[in-house]
């Protein structure tokens, strides 16, 4: 861990690009879920992908890790397609097998590095050990992953992704199952690691305020296409968000940080078209028609 790396985030220049997507399209049975996405991820950058459920965020991430077929190019530079040695995924709802210890679970991150005989080396164990120490999980090493709380489990999943020793970390709505305290602590952990280790982060995020706080740049996706991108202040505009999410939203600046809130319904709002995606990020419990654009 070099202090020099921690000090600054390199600017996004063509030389420091770590990942680029060109015209990426993913279709399931004639229906395109990702429709021609272009994006670039710079070294040390945190790029947030936001958008309503079913917009294609997860599918985009899955295509980058090679979990779905796609057309277009996904490139790590020099025509090199990403593999598990380059890109580590923190899945949305990770499987926690019964009877597997934390150390064994983190060791799974070394799968891509294992040799022909599939036997882990001393170095693999060292990596696991130092990752566990780095995340203060050493005392958890022989706990079973199935007995961990949600926040602890998510830390262990991040640890597994780190053990992959990839320059790019993909987060698929990593905190959607956590309470607000653990959401922040997991995202802060990732942010610290990014600064200290020079990782690049591409994260699909539900919580728009968290996205504003942690991401350097945001990409807003709707119906499989990028509808806005740029710095958080450029993308998080009330009119844009209200249209995309299909519910009135306001954006406020509190102590210099952008906070996205549902607008009060009592205020006069233009009537919403019923064909619009009636989704929001707040999970507000009110009856509404369902228009699932994807399963």
Partner 1 sequence: MAEASLPPAVMAEPDADPMPVRRAFGMSAGAVVIGVAVLVSVGLLSAASGAAGLPVGGVFGALFDWLPLVGIESSLSAAQESILFEIRLPRLVLGMLVGGSLGVAGASYQGVFRNPLADPYLLGVSAGAGFGAVLALGFGLDLSWGPFDTVPAAAFLGALVAVVASMAIARGGGASPATLLLGGVAMAALFSAAQTYAIQQLSETRAREVLSWLFGQLNTTGWKQVALLLPYAAVCGAVLFVHRRHLDVLRVGDDEARSLGLNPARSRLVVIGAASLLTAAAVSVSGLIAFVGLVVPHVVRLLVSHSYRVIVPLSALAGGAFLAFVDIGARTLLAPSELPVGVITAFVGAPFFALVLWRDRWSAT
- Binders of partner 1 among residues 2 to 21 (CB under 8 A) are none
| 38: its two tokens | 């272009």
3-state SS of 27-87 is EECCEEEEEEEEEEEECCCEEEEECCCCCCHHHHHHHHCCCCCCEEEEECCCCCCCCCCCE
**Under the criterion CB under 8 A, does residue 27 sit at the interface with partner 1?**
no
CB of 61 to partner 1, least distance (A): 10
CB of 83 to partner 1, least distance (A): 7
Identify the H or E element spanning 222. strand 217-222
**Under the criterion CB under 8 A, does residue 201 sit at the interface with partner 1?**
no
**Under the criterion CB under 8 A, does residue 41 sit at the interface with partner 1?**
no
- Near partner 1 by CB under 8 A: residue from 42, 51, 52, 91: 91
Stretch that binds partner 1, among 45-53, 78-86, 226-234, 237-245 (CB under 8 A): 78-86
**Under the criterion CB under 8 A, does residue 86 sit at the interface with partner 1?**
yes
Q: Which of 17, 39, 77 is nearest to 200 (CA)?
A: 17
Nearest-angstrom CA–CA distance, 135 and 197: 13
CB of 38 to partner 1, least distance (A): 23
Stretch that binds partner 1, among 85-93, 204-212, 236-244, 257-265 (CB under 8 A): 85-93
**Under the criterion CB under 8 A, does residue 101 sit at the interface with partner 1?**
yes
CB of 112 to partner 1, least distance (A): 3
Nearest-angstrom CA–CA distance, 8 and 211: 20
Q: Which of 196, 227, 228, 232 is nearest to 212 (CA)?
A: 232
The interface mask with partner 1, positions 160-189, x = CB under 8 A, is --xxxxxx----------------------
Dihedral (Cα; 141, 143, 149, 153), 10-degree rounding: 40
Q: Which of 98, 77, 164 is nearest to 128 (CA)?
A: 164
Q: Are strands 17-28 and 71-75 parallel, antiparallel or unpaired?
A: antiparallel
- Near partner 1 by CB under 8 A: residue from 38, 71, 73, 121: 121
Other C-beta atoms lying within 10 Å of the C-beta of residue 143:
16
Q: Which of 215, 245, 252, 246 is nearest to 230 (CA)?
A: 215
- Near partner 1 by CB under 8 A: residue from 141, 227, 240, 259: 141
| 53: its two tokens | 């459920």
**Under the criterion CB under 8 A, does residue 240 sit at the interface with partner 1?**
no
| Cβ-contact 185, 151 below 8 angstroms | yes
CB of 89 to partner 1, least distance (A): 4
1-11: burial string, b at 16+ Cβ within 10 Å, e else: eeeebeeebee
**Under the criterion CB under 8 A, does residue 108 sit at the interface with partner 1?**
yes
- Near partner 1 by CB under 8 A: residue from 29, 119, 266, 290: 119
Question: Whose Cβ is closer to partner 1: residue 15's or residue 139's?
Answer: 139
- Near partner 1 by CB under 8 A: residue from 6, 9, 100, 177: 100
Residues near partner 1 (CB under 8 A) are 62, 65-67, 83-86, 88-89, 91, 94-95, 97-104, 107-109, 111-112, 114, 116-121, 123, 125-134, 138-139, 141-142, 162-167, 197-199
């Amino acid at each position: 861990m070099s202090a020099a790396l921690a000090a600054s985030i390199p600017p996004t220049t063509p030389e420091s690009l770590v990942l680029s997507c060109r015209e990426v399209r993913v279709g399931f049975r004639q229906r395109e879920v990702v429709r021609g996405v272009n994006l670039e991820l710079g070294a040390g950058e945190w790029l947030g992908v936001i958008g309503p459920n079913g917009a294609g965020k997860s599918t985009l991430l899955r295509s980058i890790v090679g979990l779905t077929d796609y057309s277009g190019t996904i490139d790590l530079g020099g025509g090199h397609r990403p593999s598990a040695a380059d890109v580590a995924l923190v899945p949305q709802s990770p499987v926690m097998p019964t009877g597997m210890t934390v150390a064994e679970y983190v060791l799974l991150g070394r799968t891509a590095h294992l040799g022909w005989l599939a036997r882990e080396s001393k170095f693999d164990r060292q990596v696991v050990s130092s990752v566990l120490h780095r995340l203060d999980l050493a005392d958890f090493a022989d706990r079973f992953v199935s007995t961990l709380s949600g926040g602890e489990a998510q830390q262990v999943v991040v640890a597994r992704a780190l053990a992959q020793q990839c320059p790019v970390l993909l987060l698929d709505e990593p905190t959607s199952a956590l309470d607000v305290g653990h959401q922040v602590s997991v995202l802060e952990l990732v942010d610290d690691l990014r600064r200290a280790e020079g990782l690049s982060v591409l994260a699909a995020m539900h919580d728009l305020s968290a996205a504003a706080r942690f991401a350097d740049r945001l990409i807003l996706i709707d119906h499989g296409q990028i509808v806005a991108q740029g710095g958080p202040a450029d993308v998080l505009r009330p009119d844009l968000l209200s249209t995309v999410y299909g519910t009135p939203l306001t954006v406020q600046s509190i102590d210099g940080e952008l906070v996205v809130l549902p607008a009060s319904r009592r205020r006069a709002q233009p009537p919403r078209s019923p064909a619009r995606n009636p989704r929001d990020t707040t999970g507000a419990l009110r009856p509404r028609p369902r228009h699932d654009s994807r399963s």
